[in-house]
Amino acid sequence: MAFGLPAEVALICLALAGTHLLRGRVIARRSERSDLAKEDPPIRRRMKRVDGDSRVVSEELSDLHDRVVRLFGVINDELANEVIARLLFFQMNDAKAPITLEIDSVGGNVTATLAIVETMAFVKCPVATLCRNRAMGCAAVVFACGARGSREAGADAMLGFTKTTVAYVSERSEVREKTDMLVAKVHGRLVRFVSDACRQPDNGVAGDFETERHFTAEEATAYGLADRVLASDKVTR
């Protein structure tokens, strides 16, 4: 990929400055850059060969060069916005080159998860998924929806499904009833995504969500959740 052109630099600045896309809306980060500078950990650096030259580069620049998107931590709207922005950026930069979505998450918000999965389906470039550690709950759904043949799990990775739960905002019966209907509808979409990705029957996947079934990397491969187990010498970057 041609990296470092002025237009690309402008797009990188746009993506990293905090303007993210979600469902057609542009929303700004709540925190000021000064606050982020105080709270964020130091940028990790490592040696990497870039364009034939060995140099120390930040992990941020390395990910941009390698077309890597990281889904680390609890899935919420802010994290989903960042993941979606990067997927769309890489799609605009090169619609054919593959993207790697690396996942280490215990799950999180269902609607934020659906937004990520729908964006993965929207972009034309294949999105490979990689889990070295864990992908639980909604994160397992994202992992399963990676490009077929390109879903890799580390030898010691754990993957698993969890029940879809909700916090009621009112004790009124009509509100709880409508909320339950909405949750059932959203849960059904998660089940169908996994069913299609794993080529498993809907009722079987629904039962696995209900029992919160967990998988080792080998079990996930046999189930159709993963395509291969990552070789032990490739688990660490």
pLDDT tens by residue, 65-116: 899 999 999 999 999 999 999 999 999 999 999 999 999 999 999 999 999 9
CA distances from 16 to 64, 86, 192 (A): 11, 9, 33
Least confident of 27-41, 74-88, 136-150, 185-199: 27-41
Sequence-ordered list of residues with C-beta below 8 angstroms from that of 39, at least 6 positions apart, any chain: 31
Options 3.30.420.40, 3.30.70.920, 3.90.226.10, 3.40.50.150; CATH of 12-27+47-234: 3.90.226.10
Residue 22 pLDDT > 70: no
Task: Give the C-alpha separation, 91 to 50, whole Å.
Answer: 21
